[in-house]
Amino acid sequence: MKTKIKFIASGILLVTIMAVLGCTTQNNGSGALSSNVAERAYVAPGEHDEFYAFVSGGFSGQLSVYGLPSGRLFRVIPVFSVDAEKAYGFNEETKPMLETTFGFIPWDDSHHPDISQTNGEIDGRWVFINANNTPRIARISLETFETEEIIEIPNSAGNHSSSFVTENTEYVVAGTRFSVPVPQQDISIDEYKSNFKGAISFIGIDQESGRMNLDFQILMPGFNYDLAHPGRGKSHGWMFFSTYNTEEANTLLEVNASQNDKDFIAAINWKKAEEYIQQGRFREMETAYAHNVYDESTHMATSTIKRTVKVLDPAELPGLVYFLPTPKSPHGCDVDPTGEYIIGSGKLSAALTAHSFTKMLDAIENERFDGEAYGVPILNYDDVVAGVVEQAGLGPLHTEFDTEGNGYTTFFISSEVVKWKVGTWEVVDRKPTYYSVGHLMIPGGNSRKPFGKYLLAMNKITKDRYLPTGPELTQSAQLYDISGEKMELILDFPTVGEPHYAAGAPADLIAPRSKKFYELDDNNHPYSIKNESEARVERDGNVVHIYMSTIRSHFAPDNIEGIKVGDRVYFHVTNLEQDFDVPHGISMIGANTSELLIMPGQTETFVWEPKKVGVWPFYCTDFCSALHQEMQGYVRVSPRNSDIELSWSLDGE
Amino acid sequence: MNTKKIQILSVVFFLALCSCTRAEKENTSELTLPDNTPKGQASVVDNESDKNILQVAIGSSDHSTLVAAVQAAEIEHVLVNAGPLTVFAPVNQAFADLPEGTVSNLLKPENKQQLANILTLHAAPGSYNKEALIKSAERGRKLYMATGDYLEIRVTGEDVYVGGAKVIATVPTSNGIINVVDRVILPPGS
């Protein structure tokens, strides 16, 4: 009994000392504020966040826009999946955005957003993102926060090592995860080896318009190309890709692609590729891919099929590609802000490998090769490795950097973020994530100039972290303050879909250029009207075009008669407002599509095929004004053989 | 070591915790939370959109008394709301025509509510330009005002009167209509 009391007493004493110590610590230094994590993530009502975070939606196919440090969700930008809320893929204007050579595809898996750069620093013009499943790259305007362009990638499958931009946004690269027959053909899967190729695409970017053009492809050996990052500074002009399945297995990869002790990081000299293109040492290959462009002036997208691509064969073009042996199925392939170190995260390894760009160039110059693979020289591991972060954790995936010479790496299996020093390769801190972290993001962390204040870790699994919602649980993002020596978890927030990867930028790089509305005078939509007096209804056989306008708080026209069962009725609706944040919506009873959500100055169109005789209402679906509930109208639908004349009116006129 | 000692230690522990909490509180109280009251839609900075009712009124030198009254009544936010709203805006002379002392009396803080009521009687939900007012008059509609009153619309020749005030001009704005009028509309029956 006495021992027990002693034990309790010393327990209390200990807790007291700790409490007092804790208290003291809090009151010293920078005061209570610095230790209050809630306050550091708190952005008061009406205040703005310091950073934008563009977080991919993974299997949602979209791109979410959050504020940091608050974790508040501002917008979900529809990219590769239809979005009924915004009529994306439902209205006539955006349907072409989702056209491919496989036809209209309403969904994809969006993975790696990357913000455009100038001189190696993020510039906030555009964000690019890849579709994994049906290979495509999208470009999103950071003025309108709309998807402006989608280009399909031919000869590719599982477009995963994408969409990473070079230092001046010369190119966005898209690398295939799955090697496939190039061109596609009807052959046995067993003929994988030597018949399957891995296409790496370089998409040129017009610096004015941002328009994408598939400039060339490099047909690589049939490995899996997993991730990529551009060289920067001294290594500008190179692009690095991690590979796995150098075994070239085509079945049970979880075993068969883990046989080799080392796979490769492929170093591609794209400046050399440009030389070869200029010298005409490419093959013009017939293929087909869709190129979809949304025109802000017509508020409409068009889809065109392109037919050729220039391909380069690295076996025939010396100096184009080198392989850097890297342990154990490297996943992440990250380049530090100086451009000297290329970090390979062998996902089945416990260590990280840092290759030296300088050593790589030296080995190439002295032709110290350790054989070749399909004509591509393999460098000696010992000749290129600069250091190894030993025993850092289990299952390393991705690395980003701060400005102080630290790297931060995620470990999926051990669910943690590990901070280590670039150059000495020593681990300086580690913090758990909840749970099974994939990518991490430091704003600007993949550029010459990271903003090393916050780190966002994106988790695949949350288990008990939130209130349960049945079998399907939200995935999450976790925010760490990395301004001090030790990382501190300050916020944990749920995400849309799978928060696969993210790109971040200071708010002041983007917010001042954000568009407020579209100029009505610049609206060149073929069915737009510029004022109510132009509102009308026109019939052409069984096709009816309604030229409609909206302004607080009515439609013009709002009474329409003479529509018949079997007609195909186009509602072309122009929002005449020229005022920030005043969209109008519209939907029609029985329309087999989504609402429209029309921004000021914009025209959108939906199709309605009336099936039933009667008088049917439509209404404004966006709570626009005090008289929003009054914003409605009627369409009279008569039988097919009716001779009711087409007429339309507003308030009897 | 006996139970008493444990009690004493517990008290020490409790006190330590208390002092800790107090220290935190003191620090927290130094935090200044942003005061949101002056922030409303009227303070939104937007030089690109079409001008709203308040912005147009502020830009009109003929309406400085009205603007001053709106500010005194603290109803600016109403005039920048999504609306749509039709405002009958008396010119400065209209206020000057009121019995002497009326305006200065209404501008006193203690008469804020009364001033707000009078100004609200100059606002109708909806968009009514001069043509819409004529149409309403032709159809025998009265104009429903934001106070709940119904005002008569009278058309004489080309002139339109609402609540006895003559419409001198119509100005479209982003969130509704301003009809400039020549006199202050007084509550029905007053």
Structural domain boundaries, residue A582: 528-649
- B22 and B108, same domain (yes or no): no
A18 contacts chain B (CB < 8 A): no
CB contact under 8 A, B27 and A626: no
- A540 and A491, same domain (yes or no): no
A553 contacts chain B (CB < 8 A): yes
CB contact under 8 A, B127 and A551: yes
Count of domains observed in chain B: 2
Diameter of chain A measured on Cα atoms: 104
- A84 and A197, same domain (yes or no): yes
The pLDDT of residue A615 is above 50: yes
Does a structural domain hold residue A13?
Answer: no
- B104 and B15, same domain (yes or no): no
Interface test with A, best of B37, B50, B136 (most A CBs within 10 A): B50
- A537 and A484, same domain (yes or no): no
Least CA distance to A27: which residue of chain B?
B23
Does a structural domain hold residue B25?
Answer: yes
Q: Per-residue pLDDT tens for A4-37?
A: 445 444 544 444 444 444 444 443 334 444 568 8
- A506 and A537, same domain (yes or no): no
Look up the CATH number of the domain holding residue B83. Answer: 2.30.180.10
- B65 and B130, same domain (yes or no): yes
Tell how strand A632-638 and strand A559-564 pair up.
Answer: parallel
Q: Among A487, A513, A539, which residue terminates a domain?
A: A513
CA quadruple A637, A641, A645, A646: dihedral positive or negative?
positive
- B81 and B174, same domain (yes or no): yes
The pLDDT of residue B26 is above 50: no
Please report the residues numbered 591 through 610 in chain A whose beta carbons come closer than 8 angstroms to any beta carbon of chain B.
600
Residues A430-451: what's their mean pLDDT?
A: 95
B31 contacts chain A (CB < 8 A): yes
CB contact under 8 A, B28 and A32: yes
The pLDDT of residue A490 is above 90: yes
The pLDDT of residue B16 is above 50: no
Least reliable range by pLDDT among A227-231, A270-274, A358-362, A622-626: A622-626
What confidence category does residue A254 fall into, taking pLDDT thresholds of 50, 70 and 90?
confident
pLDDT of residue B27: 42
B81 contacts chain A (CB < 8 A): yes
- B78 and B151, same domain (yes or no): yes
Does a structural domain hold residue B36?
Answer: no
Does a structural domain hold residue A201?
Answer: yes
Q: Per-residue pLDDT tens for A527-573?
A: 999 999 999 999 999 999 999 999 999 999 999 999 999 999 999 99
Residues A450-467: what's their mean pLDDT?
A: 95
What is the value of pTM for the model shown? 0.89
What is the C-alpha separation between A616 and A637, in angstroms, rounded? 7
- A472 and A575, same domain (yes or no): no
Does a structural domain hold residue A25?
Answer: no
pLDDT of residue B11: 47
pLDDT of residue B29: 41
Count of domains observed in chain A: 2
- A241 and A296, same domain (yes or no): yes
Residues of B within 8 A of A31 (CB-CB) are 27
Q: Cite the DSSP H helix spans in A524-651.
A: none
Structure letter (DSSP) for residue B145: P
- B24 and B55, same domain (yes or no): no
Residues of A within 8 A of B31 (CB-CB) are 33, 39
What confidence category does residue A200 fall into, taking pLDDT thresholds of 50, 70 and 90?
very high
The pLDDT of residue A246 is above 70: yes
Q: Among A482, A513, A544, which residue terminates a domain?
A: A513
Does a structural domain hold residue A24?
Answer: no
The pLDDT of residue A3 is above 90: no
How close B175 comes to chain A (CA, Å)?
Answer: 7
- A93 and A153, same domain (yes or no): yes
- B91 and B18, same domain (yes or no): no
Residues A138-164: what's their mean pLDDT?
A: 98
User: Residue A516: which residues within 8 A CB-CB, separation 6 or more?
Assistant: A580, A581, B46, B48, B49
CA distances from B42 to A492, B49, B77, B114 (A): 35, 14, 5, 22
pLDDT of residue A1: 43
B45 contacts chain A (CB < 8 A): no
A625 contacts chain B (CB < 8 A): yes
- B22 and B81, same domain (yes or no): no
B26 vs A598, higher pLDDT:
A598
Three-class SS state of A269:
strand
Structural domain boundaries, residue B74: 51-181
What is the C-alpha separation between A328 and A245, in angstroms, rounded? 10
- A357 and A310, same domain (yes or no): yes
A2 contacts chain B (CB < 8 A): yes
Q: Among A483, A513, A543, which residue terminates a domain?
A: A513
Does a structural domain hold residue A643?
Answer: yes
Say if residue A447 is preceded by a cis peptide, omega within 30 of 0. Answer: no
The pLDDT of residue A598 is above 70: yes
CA distances from A349 to A344, A397, A646 (A): 10, 10, 73
How close B34 comes to chain A (CA, Å)?
Answer: 7
